[in-house]
Amino acid sequence: MILEAMDELMEATGEPMTRLCAGIGVSYSNLMRWQVRRDLGLPPLCVPGPRKLAPVDLGRVRQELEAMAHGRKRTAGTGDLYERFRNQLSRRQFRELVEEARKARRVLEEEGRQRIHWHAPRLIWAVDDVHVGYHEDRKVWSNQIRDLGSRYLFAPQLSLGGVLEGELVAERLDRLFGINGPPLVLKRDNGGNLDCVAVDAVLERFGVVPLNSPLQYPRYNGGVEKSQREFKEELVAQGK
């Protein structure tokens, strides 16, 4: 469009091309190159860089990228893949395809996640342990229980040297159930102190359904994981 506009300006004003280019901030040499390409029947603008020798099968490239292991910022194996297609794709084009594949993978992952919201208290509680610091070179652990519906965090119970023992976790749950009433479900991970005979006995007595997190998937218990982060951030803020 700029070439046609410059032709119209020259015809209307009679000014030389160099002066018109200076007036609108366009490089005279660029404009001349665009005109030559137009006169040869070529597109005025072309992709910079060396011309590739062979046409590329973008469908095949996308298919191979789709099968790769994509992280948030990196994708393993892209270097080898680019070497196979380097005569058909520029690095810039290849980077755009990789980023396109990463974004598509993130969309699929987000769509595949189920988010559950609890709209009433005492439907489901979550229990977990978190390391919060040291005392005389011994680890300090916090046993945390949270009502996921109200997001209320019960007062944590600390233990020194290791996580709270299973019998003590059972006693704590028994006490909280008696004071607040039991939930329908208790989410817990597979730690030996949380998934043990003593805790199971308390849950059975109060009619609470245990719900264990899948192995190697701590985000399943995301509500109490979030409370642990908040708890540790508060400790840091208070200098403890």
Residues 40 and 63 in one domain: no
Inter-axis angle of helices 197-206 and 166-180, to 10 degrees? Answer: 20
Residues 100 and 146 in one domain: no
Q: Residue 12 CA to chain centroid, in angstroms?
A: 57
Evaluate whether residue 76 is within a structural domain.
yes
Residue 118 forms part of a structural domain: no
Residue 16 included in any domain: yes
Instruction: Report whether 103 contacts 94 (CB < 8 A).
Output: no
Domain span including residue 10 = 1-46
Do residues 180 and 134 both lie within one domain?
A: yes
Kindly tell me if the per-residue pLDDT of 238 is higher than 80: no
Domain-terminating residue out of 87, 113, 139: 113
Both 60 and 152 in one domain: the answer is no
pLDDT attached to residue 206: 96
Give the orientation angle of helix 17-24 with respect to helix 28-39, to 10 degrees. Answer: 120
Residues 208 and 107 in one domain: no
The verdict on 143 and 197 lying in the same domain is yes
Q: Are strands 185-188 and 152-153 parallel, antiparallel or unpaired?
A: unpaired
Residue 119 lies inside a defined structural domain of this protein: no
pLDDT tens figures, 10-29: 777 777 777 777 777 777 77
pLDDT number for residue 199: 96
pLDDT above 90 covers what percent of the chain? 26
* pLDDT tens-digit series, residues 62-106: 888 888 887 777 888 888 888 888 888 888 888 888 888 888 888
Residues 130 and 170 in one domain: yes
Domain with 215 in it: what CATH number? 3.30.420.10
Which residues does 186 contact at the CB level (< 8 Å), separation at least 6?
A: 124, 125, 126, 127, 173, 203, 208, 209, 210, 211
Residue 60 shares a structural domain with residue 18 = no
pLDDT band at 216 (very low <50, low <70, confident <90, very high): low
Query: Assign residue 165 a region: left if phi > 0, alpha if psi is -120 to 50, beta otherwise?
Result: beta
- Specify the number of domains making up the chain: 3
Both 138 and 227 in a single domain? yes
Q: Say whether pLDDT at 48 is over 60.
A: no
HSE (CB half, 13 Å, CA atoms) of 114? 3
Q: What is the mean pLDDT of the chain?
A: 79
pLDDT for 177: 96
Q: Are residues 154 and 219 in the same domain?
A: yes
* Least-confidence region, from 53-67, 140-154, 160-174: 53-67
> For residue 203, which of 131, 145, 142, 120 has the smallest C-alpha distance?
145
- Whether 237 has a pLDDT exceeding 90, the answer reads no
> Residues of the chain with pLDDT > 70: what percent?
75
Q: CA 33 to CA 74: how far, in whole Å?
A: 39
Name the domain boundary from 61, 94, 113: 113
Cβ atoms of 9 and 3 closer than 8 Å: no
Final residue before a domain boundary, out of 63, 85, 113: 113
